[in-house]
Every structure is written in C-alpha cells, then in structure tokens.
Amino acid sequence: MKFGNTIFHNKIKIWFLHSALVVIGLWILFMPSLVKFEKGDNNIFTVYLNDQAVGTVAKKDDAYAAYRNARRAISSDTDELTLVNCDISIEGQNVLVGTVDSLDTVSAAMEQVLLANERDTLNRAYSIKINEFSINLASIDEVYELLETALSNYDTENQYDVNLVLDPTREVNVLTTQVLSKEEVKKEEEIAQTSMPEAGFFAEVSDIVNEATPLAYDKDFSDYDLGLKSIDFGDKVEIVESYLRDEELTVLSTAIDEVTKDKETNQIYEVQSGDTLSTIALKYDLTVDDLIQMNESLEDEFTRIRPQDELIVTVPEPELSVVYTIEEYYEEDYEAEVEYVYNDSWYTTQTKVLQEPSAGHRKVVALVTFTDNSEDGREIEKEEVTYQAVPKIVEKGTIVPPTYVKPISGGRLTSGFGRRSAPTKGASSYHKGVDWATPVGTAVMASSSGVVTRAGWGSGYGYCVYIRHPDGRETRYGHLSKVLVSVGQSVTQGQKIALSGNTGVSTGPHLHFEILINGVQVNPLNYLN
C-alpha cells in the first residue's frame, strides 16, 4: 500500500512539471518583450508625444523609427503638405525586469495623437520681402499684378513690364525683379528672329560700324522723344515660394494698399544755412509743434538751430518705392549764380552788393529723376537762352571774425536782455545786457580779444571794463570789485581782466555783461559760443 502511494505522488510531480513547462512556453510566446538589465544604464524608455504617453521601447532609436512610421501613415493619403503640431520626448529608466511595446503598437498610438493635432493643409504661396516688410500672396499671378500696379502709378502708358528672375547674389532660389521696356524687348526679339550670324569679313565690317562714333549734330527741340525714359523699383524685392495656411495669406487688394500707399516714415534732415524751424516744418508739411515733439533737442519754437544740425522729420513714403526718369521740355525764368568779389581786409560778416541781379529766360530739355513724387535730380540736355540773366555781384570779406565766450565760469542768469517791469531803484527799465549772480571775487575774463578802452569807476556800473574788438564790436563788464587791466592794454580771449563784485547800482553780487554793435547794445546770449 505504501509502494502505491509513492508511485501516485511521483505521477503528480511529473504532471506539475510538464504544466509549468507549458505555461513558461506560452508566456514566452505571447507576453511582451523583456528587457536586459544593464547596471548603470537606462534599459527602458517611455515615449511621449505632445505630453501623451504612447508606449515603451528598449532603445531611443525605436521611438524615432515609430515616429517616422506614424508620419508616413498620416501623409500617405494626400499629395499636399500637412501641418501637425508635434513634440516628442523620451524618459529613460533602469529596471531589473520590464516589458516594451512592439514598434507597430507605438506607431499606431503616435498616429492617433498626430491626427488629433493635425492643422490645416498648407497652400502653395509666394512670400514677398521688401526691406523689413513682408507679405504673402496666393499665386505668382498676384505677385505680378501687385508689382505692375506699383509701377502703373508712374508708367501711365504701360510702356514697361516686370519680369521675375533668379537673384544671382543669392545661393538659394530667390526671385527678384527686372523691369524692361516693351519696345526694347520687342526690337531684340525681332533682331533675334531675323538676323543671321555673320562671319569673317562681314563680321569685322559690322564690328567697325557698330564701334564707330556717330557724327555729332545739334538736335532741335522737336528731335527729342519726351516722356518716360526709365523706371525701376527703388527697393530690393525678394520673392520665395512657400507653403502657408489660408489665414496667413493677404487678399490682393489689401496687399496693393499696404505696398503702394504712402506711410509716414522718419528721416534725418540736415539743417542748411538760412533754415528756420518754420521753413523746415513747411517743407515737410508739418507744424513747428510737430518738429518739437519729434526732436528732444528742441525745447520750444525759439530754440536756436545751426547749419549741419540734424533733425528728425516725417516723410510720406510707400513700402515699395519707384525710381524713374522723365525727359521733359519747359520754359522758365532763371537766376544767374551769385558772383563774389573777395576783400581780404574785411571780415566774412561784411558784405556789399555791387550789382543787383535780373532774371533771364530760357528753353530747356532736361532729364528729371524722381523717387515716387520727390525730385532727386535734374540734368539739362539742351538749353536755349532767350535773354541772359544778370548775376548779383557781392563784395565779401575773407577774415574770420572773432568769437565771443561767456566771461565767467558758472553763475546763475538772474536778469535777461530787454525791458523789465521792476528794476532796482536808479537802474533803467530797459536792461542793456545780462546779469549772472556769482560770489564777489569770481574771475572775470575777456569775452574776446581786443584793446581796453575804459577801466575804472563808471557811475551806475560801479567798477567796470570796456573792451574794443577788431570787428568793431565792444563788450562791457560792470559791478566789479577789482579791475586788473588798464586803458590801452591789449587782452586775449579768456584772459583774466577783473573780479566780480557788487559795486554801483546793484542789489547783490553779480556780473553785468553787454555786447554793443555799432554803438548799440544787443542781446549777448545771441552771440556767445
């Protein structure tokens, strides 16, 4: 009986062993893949697409292979470009035991995420760049129409055509513009179709004839073919083919307005001799207040401007400018250039008119160059004077006149030049100079070089110094505490001549300063450098 139980138990053990082997075999066939444990290295990777987990892989390369398969799957049903928002990320782990998904499983999961994030199909389009401005149009025909419209504002008789050619300065395929005369293109085509190539003697004769200088002759006004002579775009235009969504395209009519309509553009204007703020504002269709707002250097309408100063002005300009040349005939009165007779014993500020001018009259054919509506230059091709202009002749000095500087360092301006409402008792109601408040003993310097004509007490001036300058002007320094020069002494600009004080009719320590021209006081602040 005991022997039978032993046989039974052995059979049960064998059955369990066979069952276990079968289970292990099935598990190996149907369960996911195992990964090999490697100490210190990541051996399993979780893949995310747009922050959604799409599976696990054993290598990063498997994730990218699955991604390529998914992309091919969603684009296989269309010939157009498809735009999809996608951001792939991979997180690695090191595990003892782990399972990974098949490549097909990960690809299928990625495909679902990509389809959920698919954007509109892109349209073939054309992007136009003009300086920093860019715009997108739906077709090459619209590009041509936009460019031809820009020209048509000035090519009113439709004499020129726009061509698009590869830009030779760019390594990539970028188109740019080429504007050609229809008449010239037609002539070249006719010559190309009818001309036979010449060789030998005939070719040499043709070269000699072509290189020969034509006989010059005096053209009559009627010989000129007036009108538009050349036209082109004033800005570099670049066109590239692109693929864009519907909302990124601009309607043609809107594009034409944006490219051809004038917009206010800031430019730098260099102040010329004789300019005033009002004349500059008028030239650019602005107000003086507009200029002041645009230029921090201008405090108010009385701010002094000098030649070669630079001011910001606004000029109406389109995004795409057009440059063109017109040959035109006109008759005009004209002025002859001023003629100067130089006098080496006069200052440059001294002038005398020796002959008054009178206008002449002439007939003219000229080439006039424009950028949009602004004239850039004028070249006279033929001129016939009906009667000569008489030039203005001016005698002018050559000696640079002396300059004038502030006679003290620092100081606070307390009284300006001109009428004042409450003068100090005993002082004039019309102030003939300017006052700077400054402590007693401040050094007073000669505003310009010259000869001292007075040095001492001067009644209401207190202690004072007068200096006569080579240009005939005179400077006066009043209310001094000490005089350091004497009558007849020559002084140089910046030389110390006195110490400031509070003498004469004065309400406090200060320097009174005057400039006289032809014996009459003027505002010194207008003459100090």
Q: Where are the domains of the chain?
A: 1-31, 33-121, 263-317, 325-399, 412-526
Q: Is 22 helix (H, G, I), strand (E, B) or coil?
A: helix
Alpha carbon distance 141, 529 (integer Å): 63
Residue 122 in tokens: 């892109």
Alpha carbon distance 327, 135 (integer Å): 34
Query: In 3D, which of 463, 476, 458, 460 has the Cα closest to residue 516?
Result: 476
The answer to whether the beta carbons of residues 393 and 339 sit under 8 Å apart is: yes
What does the pLDDT read at residue 29? Answer: 45
Query: In 3D, which of 490, 483, 444, 435 has the Cα closest to residue 467?
Result: 490
Quote the pTM value. 0.52
Q: Class for domain 263-317, per CATH? A: alpha beta
What does the pLDDT read at residue 205? Answer: 57
H or E segment at 382? Answer: strand 374-387
Alpha carbon distance 354, 362 (integer Å): 25
- CATH 2.70.70.10 is right for the domain spanning 412-526: yes
Radius of gyration of the chain (CA): 46
What does the pLDDT read at residue 244? Answer: 86
User: pLDDT tens digits, the chain, 529 residues: what are they?
Assistant: 444 555 555 666 666 666 655 555 544 444 445 555 556 678 899 999 988 999 999 888 999 999 999 888 887 766 656 667 788 999 988 888 778 899 999 999 998 988 887 765 678 899 999 988 999 999 999 999 999 999 998 999 999 999 999 998 887 789 999 999 988 888 877 776 765 555 555 556 556 655 655 544 578 898 999 999 999 999 999 999 988 888 899 999 999 999 998 877 788 999 998 889 999 998 888 899 989 999 988 988 888 898 889 999 988 889 999 999 999 999 999 999 999 999 999 988 889 999 999 999 999 999 999 999 889 999 999 999 999 999 999 999 999 889 999 999 999 998 888 876 655 555 566 888 999 999 999 999 999 999 999 999 988 899 999 999 998 899 999 999 999 999 999 999 999 999 999 999 888 999 999 999 999 999 999 999 8
Give residue 447's identity as a one-letter amino acid code.
S
Indicate the CATH number for domain 325-399.
Answer: 2.20.230.10
Query: In 3D, which of 420, 497, 427 has the Cα closest to residue 463?
Result: 497
Question: DSSP assignment of 110-137, as one string?
Answer: HHHHHHHTEEEEPEEEEEEEETTEEEEE
Alpha carbon distance 478, 462 (integer Å): 6
Residue 121 has φ and ψ, to the nearest 5°, of -65, 140
